[in-house]
Structure 1
Amino acid sequence: MAVGLCISHRIADMHTISSFMSTWAMACGGSIHKAIHPCVDLSSIFPPRDLPKPEPPVRLMIGAKYVTKRFVFDRQSIAKLKAIAKKGGFDSKREPSRVELVKALVSIALLDVAKLKNARSKPFRISHMSVLEVKKLGLPVLVSLMRDVITTSLAKLVNVIDEENLGEMVMYLVREFQEELRKGEANVLLFTSWCRFPLHRADLGWGEPEFVSSLCSPFDSVTLMDHKEGDDDGGIVAQVSLTEGDMDLFCKQHDILQYASYKYKA
């Protein structure tokens, strides 16, 4: 039995969807009284404003055939990647997270794919909460860059005065990202993380799900999620959506073959 959920991103993000699934599971188990009842009066938090309409976050390649494969990085692979990052000079009081490590490794493989395809070298921008430009490859370098950019972005939230100020900051980042897309001068890698969302524990009455996935994206993207057999600090599944040709090249990358436990179509 399969249960599917389809909802507009204008209404819900993954945090909202995860909360909905958890509440649904509570209702099925007879404990709806324990559920969190969120405020749905969004206009009280973000009053209506005349804001520019955001464009799609990526260019859709009309007519291109996309495929999605899942690459599993188990606990042992994460430990090896962490050791490589630390040995390579990753300097931080907090160890690199499994999301940062897998995101950096997948990025390196995708950058290599782009190099094989393009005769002319182009800069790369990785988007996940914020945008960073990649000038030098290497796991320790990429992990450090990601940590620095995300830390800087989160630090800006401290200066947010009210909901209007927050809205302006978000729209500025969106416009900055869209401008990079319009220029077409850089390869853009789009990531999102579903890690630590309890999707594998949403028991609707038949037991916990054996498989959790999203549909194939009609654009280049990578979704990270917890591996069912692991805990919150265990393995990670990287669900990668690429065109058929790019996926063939991606699957041949040494770093992916070395650390991904197995791969299969979603």
Structure 2
Amino acid sequence: MENELVSSETIKPSSPTPSHLRIYPLSFIDNMFVFNIPLLFFYNPNESSDQNSKISQLKKSLSHVLSKYYIFAGRLKDKINIECNDQGVSFLVTKIKNKLSNILKHSEEKMLNPLFADGLQWKEGYPSEALVAIQINCFECGGMAISICMYHKCGDASTLINFMKEWAIISQKLEEENGEELLISPFPLLEGGASIFPQKNLPVFPESLHKRQKNVVCKRFAFQPSVIKFLKELASSSSVLHPSRVLVVKAWIYKHVVSSMGLNFKTSPFLMAVDLRKRMIPPLSEKCVGNIIWMSSMLADKEEMELKDVVCKIKEGLSEFCDVYPKLFGGNDCSLLYEFINKAINLKSKKKDGVGFSSWCNFPIYDVDFGWGKPTWVTTCGCSWKNLIFLMDRKDGKGIDAIVNLEENHMTKFEHEYVELLRCASPKVVTNSWIATSDCS
């Protein structure tokens, strides 16, 4: 795939950040992250306007939304603060000498990676410049792909998706108002960062660094509604009568990744990023910026389990997590909080062969409509961190795409298990199953 860089510029907020919001203190959770989160939106050709008009509209609406998400336009002042100095975000435009349909048919990482700015996807380290980089990719058929990489200290996946949705809403409003200026207010200081999880007397905890593996490959696995229905039937029990689609997919993947690695449930823990917004007491707004997440873990006392037992253990682990951490994070006992955080960090460092999940399901990713229709596909890209799985909704809202990162020999075994699942659940689907592969090294 040939792509040509057309332009590269910096987009700044449409109005200056107030002086009392110039310094944005990060939370003790924000401080732990030092890599970029990538997200990619594909849009079919639309006759309402040409690509140049769309790009102009995107720039203007981006400038407006940055006045609200003013921390995105800032720069790191130090490890625990962002200076909201309105320096702006990177905005690149490329022309792709290919059709959008070809990319969607061949969605390997080698095809997706050039659609991101400057190779920032999952890149670790401290950015010297912009905290957010956006690339607008224009296909020769008229279709577009919008990629964004956000430095994780600014927020989690929920923060990023809310930003994209608000950017799209403002874009539509600008079009409706025929270019009339919009008055965009910045977030109140109490909407994120240290205002929710203050550093207080806690030490700055170790940053989450991942050792990159050269033999890690990434593949996408499509769990169609028929397959999920089959898994629900297998996973239902008197303890969990109606397991959710996300729960059964997580449980099945965990069970078979552990098996593919030649390990067992007593030595390979289940790890999952949990959104705390709705679980805090009282609940927080879903639009809170920052990293409002923590890692839940489950380590079974049996070496082998059936799928329904794995579902029960994961659900029990989440319930126990929700009984402790939201109350703990909302309290004032720093010593107890310090003890729990250290315990979690120590667990993570000792269990090197855990299986980690980050579910982006049930987020409004397909509502990001800039005025020329909803995206035809939304995804992230693979990374070189082994045993890490991302779950995302398919466009129908019923199926799930799993982006699985495993060592190459383990992936071969896992793929065999997936094909067997398709044969059992829906034999007609096997020949049409979507498995995209790439070497992520």
- State TM-score, norm by structure 1: 0.81
Aligned partners of 1:36 and 1:76: how far apart in 2? 45
Q: Which of structures 1 and 2 has the bigger CA Rg? A: 2
Contact 1:200/1:209 (8 A) holds in 2: yes
Contact 1:113/1:249 (8 A) holds in 2: yes
Amino acid at match of 2:242: E
Per the alignment, residue 262 of structure 1 pairs with 434
Per the alignment, residue 405 of structure 2 pairs with 241
Aligned partners of 1:166 and 1:30: how far apart in 2? 45
How far 1:54 moved relative to its partner?
2.7
Contact 2:266/2:299 (8 A) holds in 1: no
How far 1:163 moved relative to its partner?
5.0
Residues 136-147 of structure 1 mapped to structure 2, 5 A cutoff: 136-147=304-315
Which of 231, 236, 239 matches 1:91? 239
From the two aligned structures, give the one with the greater helix fraction.
1
How far 1:65 moved relative to its partner?
3.6
Contact 2:298/2:317 (8 A) holds in 1: yes
Aligned partners of 1:153 and 1:36: how far apart in 2? 36
**Alignment partner of 1:178 is 2:345:** yes
Aligned partners of 2:217 and 2:185: how far apart in 1? 37
Identity %: 25
Per the alignment, residue 8 of structure 1 pairs with 151
Contact 1:90/1:141 (8 A) holds in 2: no
Unmatched runs of 5 consecutive residues or more in structure 2: 1-143, 175-180, 275-295
How far 1:37 moved relative to its partner?
6.6
Per the alignment, residue 213 of structure 1 pairs with 379
- Calculate the aligned-residue CA RMSD, in Å: 3.1
Aligned partners of 2:358 and 2:208: how far apart in 1? 15
How far 1:264 moved relative to its partner?
1.7
Which of 207, 226, 234 matches 2:393? 226
Write out per-residue CA displacement over residues 156-175 of structure 1, whole angstroms, 9 at most, x where no aligned residue. 25744845459964x65543
Aligned length: 253
Query: Does the C-alpha gap of structure 1 residues 121 and 139 become closer, same or farther in structure 2, counting only changes over 3 Å?
Result: closer
Amino acid at match of 2:222: V
Per the alignment, residue 251 of structure 2 pairs with 104
Per the alignment, residue 129 of structure 2 pairs with none
**Alignment partner of 1:22 is 2:165:** yes
Aligned partners of 2:406 and 2:329: how far apart in 1? 40
Contact 1:55/1:178 (8 A) holds in 2: no
Query: Does the C-alpha gap of structure 1 residues 11 and 121 become closer, same or farther in structure 2, counting only changes over 3 Å?
Result: closer
Amino acid at match of 2:194: S
Question: Aligned to 1:216, what secondary structure does the other structure show?
Answer: coil
Write out per-residue CA displacement over residues 79-100 of structure 1, whole angstroms, 9 at most, x where no aligned residue. 11111112xx3413x6111111
Question: Aligned to 2:167, what secondary structure does the other structure show?
Answer: helix
Greater relative contact order structure (CA < 8 Å, 6+ sep):
1
Query: Does the C-alpha gap of structure 1 residues 44 and 206 become closer, same or farther in structure 2, counting only changes over 3 Å?
Result: same
- State TM-score, norm by structure 2: 0.51
Query: Does the C-alpha gap of structure 1 residues 82 and 161 become closer, same or farther in structure 2, counting only changes over 3 Å?
Result: closer
Aligned partners of 1:167 and 1:215: how far apart in 2? 38
Contact 1:90/1:140 (8 A) holds in 2: no
How far 1:265 moved relative to its partner?
3.4
Aligned partners of 1:211 and 1:167: how far apart in 2? 45
Write out per-residue CA displacement over residues 51-105 of structure 1, whole angstroms, 9 at most, x where no aligned residue. 2423426x4144x14322111111111111111112xx3413x611111100011
Write out per-residue CA displacement over residues 164-197 of structure 1, whole angstroms, 9 at most, x where no aligned residue. 459964x65543333234335x620000110111
Amino acid at match of 1:179: N
Amino acid at match of 2:255: I
Contact 1:106/1:256 (8 A) holds in 2: no
Query: Does the C-alpha gap of structure 1 residues 164 and 37 become closer, same or farther in structure 2, counting only changes over 3 Å?
Result: farther
Aligned partners of 1:183 and 1:161: how far apart in 2? 24
Aligned partners of 1:167 and 1:68: how far apart in 2? 40
Aligned partners of 2:405 and 2:383: how far apart in 1? 6
Per the alignment, residue 221 of structure 2 pairs with 71
Query: Does the C-alpha gap of structure 1 residues 44 and 61 become closer, same or farther in structure 2, counting only changes over 3 Å?
Result: closer
How far 1:40 moved relative to its partner?
4.5
